[in-house]
Amino acid sequence: MGLCDGRAVIVTGAGRGIGRAHALAFAAEGAAVVVNELDAEAGGQVVRDILAAGGRAVGNADDVADWEGAGRLVRTALESFGRLDVLVNNAGFVRDRMLAGMGEDEWDSVVRVHLKGHFAPLRHAVDHWRSESKAGRRPDARVINTTSGAGLMGSIGQANYVAAKAGIAGLTVIAAAELARYGVTVNAIAPAARTRMTEVAFADMMAVPESGFDAMAPENVSPLVVWLGSTQSGDVTGRVFEVEGGRVGVADGWQHGAVTDKGARWLPGE
């Protein structure tokens, strides 16, 4: 018995890196997987790998930040597997530049893929889950979003990426609160792992060690994501998990600080 037997999962950006690791890990635990990847060849290879291992998978090459494309992605799961239990929003890319030199397109493209690319599939999935709930078939559904340490703590030279990833963390919190009534939990991960994005920006840190534990292997992130996608995680929602190597932590988020109350309007010089 696998942890996700009988569940249908969408993983976006699943052709390489962390997304690929997620798709393979879900399939290994019994889930049927929609492998979303703009690069159809890369996505197709992941589908073939899952099928060769005896799993169930189909490919989808839609742009997750395109409204109609996100709708087709959700319908792919419903038409292929008859259900949708888990949405893993993972797709993204970077266009790093210092703020003083960043162009409008560099800002728009990164925010579009990360932030709208999370919202659009989520919104279409919610349509299905809400309908199921109202029909008396309460889902036991999961959403796992992907923010980053940069989105939580900031990263110089990545204003567009940081803004998008911080927005994803905020989206996670409010979506968890709003969707609980429909049987949907929403969490996020902030992973540190080797991808095409991080190999360039953090080459030394991401290098494969000659021996011992490879802390930056993307496969280290996926066990947490699979658990969050399983029926075992139903009491966990609205949280952001930091995961790197063998380390897993919970980000506390913004906290109210000390307050000084004058009891009247402050003057500028006070």
Active site residues: 148, 161, 165
> Across the strands, what pairs with 188?
145, 240
Question: How would you classify the pairing of strands 240-244 and 56-60?
Answer: unpaired
Give CA–CA dist 63/91, Å, rounded: 9
CB neighbour list of residue 44: distance below 8 Å, 6 or more residues apart? 59
Give CA–CA dist 54/64, Å, rounded: 27
**Cα separations in angstroms, 132 against 7, 67, 153:** 15, 21, 38
Q: Please, what's the b/e burial string for 199-223 (b: 16 or more CB within 10 A of its CB; e: otherwise)? A: eeeeeeebeeeeeeeebbbbebbbb
Is 189 in a helix, a strand, or coil? strand
Q: 3-state SS string over 21-83?
A: HHHHHHHHCCCEEEEECCCHHHHHHHHHHHHHCCCEEEEECCCCCCHHHHHHHHHHHHHHHCC
Enter the tokens of residue 97.
Answer: 């530049």
117-134 and 159-179 helices, crossing angle to 10°: 10
CB atoms within 10 A of CB 243: 19
